[in-house]
Structure 1
């Protein structure tokens, strides 16, 4: 029987944040030249990618001006323990993708 690899990730403060299949290094990168921040793309509507995130989503977005002059709204996900931003969405509802901030999460060893 095939069992996909489930990877677990924690915040820098050691709080459990994310369980996902496939592991983050297997996901595509969002081009940092677009938004200036290295991010990994989690597709929300892909049956091959299943995840559970234990982070609190901000109710109000922050507005970022991208390098091309366009404005993008980010709804940040924050660690419930230390309030570090660990991920973001760019849509109010039904976002197609969630982006994890590449340096915010650390892989956990799971037995």
Structure 2
């Protein structure tokens, strides 16, 4: 893997939150008609997708009623600086997916000197 293969994202407050390969733009979206919230799906058990998330995860779930009437538990991730919700899991342990809230993160450039710079909004 080359450094250019790594995509970095920050919170709106400028706090670094996510490093991932491939970029979020290459990942599928969760159907918003299921839960009502546009989200990007990160598969956790897929060797082609490697990521690290710098966010605080809730210990207790937020219980939501999906549009299909089923209940779903969300374990929210929050920015460590401003506490903005940026992502969620739907399982307490060993979640198959992590979901990034679509408008929560802004992309950053990763240059050859390992520094990270803001580029544009996703």
TM range (shorter): over 0.9
Q: Which runs of 5+ in 1 are unaligned?
A: none
Shift of residue 109, structure 1, vs aligned partner: 1.7
Q: TM-score normalized by structure 1? A: 0.96
Which residue matches 1:108? Answer: 108
Map of 1:61 onto structure 2: 61
1:13-52 per-position Cα deviation (integer Å, ceiling 9, x unaligned): 0000000000000000000000000000000001000000
What's the offset of the Cα at 1:92?
Answer: 0.7
Q: How does 1:1-111 map to 2 (within 5 A)?
A: 3=2, 5-111=5-111
SS of 1:25's equivalent in the other structure is helix
More deviation in 2-11 or 60-69? 2-11
Provide the TM-score with structure 2 as the length reference: 0.88
How big is each residue's C-alpha offset from its partner over 1:56-83, in whole Å with a ceiling of 9 and x where there is no partner?
1000000110111111000000000000
Give the number of aligned pairs. 110
